[in-house]
Amino acid sequence: MTYDEFGLLDENAREAGLPWSGQPAVRRESVALPDGRRISALVWGDEAADVVLVHGGAQNAHTWDTVALALGRPLVAVDLPGHGHSDWRDDHDYSPASNADDVAFALRELAPSPRLVVGMSLGGLTAIRVTARYPELAPRLVVVDVTPGTDHAKAEPIIAFVSGPERFASFDEILQRTIQYNPTRSEASLRRGVLHNAKENDDGSWTWRYDPMRGWKQGADLSFTPLWDDVARITAPLLLVRGGLSGVVSDEDVAELRRRNPGAEVAVVDGAGHSIQGDRPVELAAVLDEFLQR
């Protein structure tokens, strides 16, 4: 199956009802880390990036394509370590603490002075650590449908999906499993997502691009509560965006967020599950744009 990673953007725009005036300026770049691994990213536009987008676990930078089209701003969408086109870690440790240093290193080259950093799920937890540790790289922070209070029980549907088979006999088989676990998404959007997030092997089978993160399958501790201290250290304007249909963030988590960071704001995108950028990308882009312009 022929794959052009930038050949589906017109389909993204059409499905979202966005105007299409031709292929946007977007390219793939990578940054070499001190240990030789590379972090890959999509760079949108030819000017210095306004926005940095960091995806969730088992996703990749293309999850933001429709949001990027709707924003129409210069931005960078990062592939987390072990995801997309970024290199895997030998220790398979993709915790927010491990990710943050790698992401910060890449941002110094690709987006040294953004106005806003946005992180979803694992990317949101990573962005919390980046903002607390490297505040000059994140003058504003939006966290999408996650807090340090997210635990195994709240993330169970996500864990069930990423803990499934690592190899599929055909593209249709991997697509059908994806549809099963994403009832709020259109089949067309999920098809694009699988094309970006999986690859065909020489024997015709398909596997995910991301590192299977074996710790998730072995019952590894998913406690992120130490990151509450990072939330308290953040002085940048902070916005949490919840999916109206998602159970990943509880009301108790919101209360703790506001206790740790009294200036934090909260917005809800109705009709969206955990992956707000996939379910309601235009609405999410509007929330980000409004927060950025304030």
> What's residue 220's pLDDT?
54
Is residue 267 assigned to a domain? yes
Is residue 173 assigned to a domain? no
> What's residue 199's pLDDT?
96
In this structure, what CATH number is given to the domain that contains residue 14?
Answer: 3.40.50.1820
Is residue 210 assigned to a domain? no
**Number of folded domains in the chain?**
1
Is residue 96 assigned to a domain? yes
Residue 51, domain extent: 9-151+225-293
Residues with catalytic annotation? 121, 145, 274
Is residue 200 assigned to a domain? no
| Least confident range of 63-72, 123-132, 158-167, 239-248 | 158-167
Q: Which spans in the chain are helix H?
A: 9-16, 65-71, 96-110, 122-133, 156-162, 171-180, 187-197, 214-217, 227-233, 251-260, 276-279, 281-293
Taking only the tens place, the pLDDT of each residue in 208-245 is 999 987 655 554 556 799 999 999 999 999 999 999 99
Is residue 158 assigned to a domain? no
CA proximity to 130, closest of 93, 142, 175, 182 = 142
Taking only the tens place, the pLDDT of each residue in 254-265 is 999 999 999 999
Mean pLDDT on 127-141: 98
> What's residue 221's pLDDT?
57
Is residue 104 assigned to a domain? yes
Is residue 181 assigned to a domain? no
| Least confident range of 21-25, 36-40, 89-93 | 89-93
The reported pTM is: 0.97
* Band of pLDDT at residue 164, cut at 50, 70 and 90: confident
Taking only the tens place, the pLDDT of each residue in 95-122 is 999 999 999 999 999 999 999 999 999 9
